[in-house]
Amino acid sequence: MSEMRVERAAIVVGANGAIGNAMLERFERDTSLDKVFAISRTARRSSAAVSASNSKVIWLESDASENSIGKVCKHIKQHGCALTHIVIATGKLHDEAKSVAPEKRIDSLAYDSLAEVFSINTFLPMLWLSKFAGLLNRNQKTVISVLSARVGSIADNQLGGWYTYRGSKAALNMMLKTLAIEFQRRYPLVKLIAFHPGTTNSKLSEPFQANVPPEKLFTPEFVAQQLWTLMNSAPVDGQLSYQDWQHQDIAW
């Protein structure tokens, strides 16, 4: 009797964001993958690059509540796939109503905006990871990348400002580091990466692009390619890597 081959799958959280969507499309073209679970708060926006008929994408909506995170993970588990790549691409820097905006001075700090940004940039990725832990397999290599940012580096902070966003990404990095230590024992074949994409053309960066030279403003597709090659070449060393789009280490 021939043995059933276990399907290989990737997960993208925040699949309707610029970088999340570009990662999703990159995984769709990855012939080593059978399925891609795409998670977003909303339905998939149309994409010319993808033919719906033979898509390997399974689209799952989640309102980012703990309850829906649990439901989505249950659904993914039922597929019984080997998870090889996981990308969490959610994040917030500002909103259109300007109720959240990066602060220039300490005077601008406000509780609601602190709570909102920490909740999306720090709590949400960690809640997803707390449930993804139950989907992992000790004998399966899984590379997990979470979108962080260079401004979350304490060592690199020369300019100041952006209190809440910086703090939320630094806190994210610390929690990912703690997870890497736990996974050394529980899932020794998991590799964790905190990734800085560089300034990438998206809604998140739009108001801050004016002083960025054109060659330093990346397309989401370029960044997705860089992250995909990083994930495929990263050593399984039980450590959290904090790296940028050039695959260079960032000081903590």
Binding test (CB under 6 A) with ligand NAP, winner from 11, 19, 179, 230: 19
Q: Give the whole-angstrom CA distance, residue 212 versus residue 111.
A: 30
Q: Give the whole-angstrom CA distance, residue 18 versus residue 41.
A: 14
148 within 8 A of 169, measured Cβ to Cβ: yes
Could you tell me which of 205, 224, 186 has the C-alpha nearest to residue 87?
A: 224
Kindly state whether residue 9 participates in binding ligand NAP, applying the rule CB under 6 A.
no
Nearest distance from C-beta of residue 217 to ligand NAP, angstroms: 8
Binding string, residues 221-250; x marks residues near ligand NAP by CB under 6 A: ------------------------------
Q: Which is nearer to ligand NAP, 6 or 217 (CB)?
A: 217
Query: Contact region for ligand NAP (CB under 6 A) — 29-37, 69-77, 85-93, 239-247?
Result: 85-93
Kindly state whether residue 202 participates in binding ligand NAP, applying the rule CB under 6 A.
yes
C-beta neighbour count of 21 within 10 angstroms: 25
DSSP state of 218: B
Kindly state whether residue 18 participates in binding ligand NAP, applying the rule CB under 6 A.
yes
Structure tokens at 133: 């832990």
Nearest distance from C-beta of residue 65 to ligand NAP, angstroms: 10
Instruction: With both helix axes pointing from N to C terminus, report the angle between 124-132 and 163-186 in degrees, rounded to the nearest 10.
Output: 10
Sheet of strand 142-147: strand arrangement: 57-61, 35-40, 8-13, 82-88, 142-147, 190-196, 240-244
Kindly state whether residue 197 participates in binding ligand NAP, applying the rule CB under 6 A.
yes
Binding test (CB under 6 A) with ligand NAP, winner from 85, 92, 94, 166: 92
Contacting positions for ligand NAP (CB under 6 A): 14-20, 40-42, 64, 89-92, 120, 124, 147, 149, 196-197, 199-200, 202-205
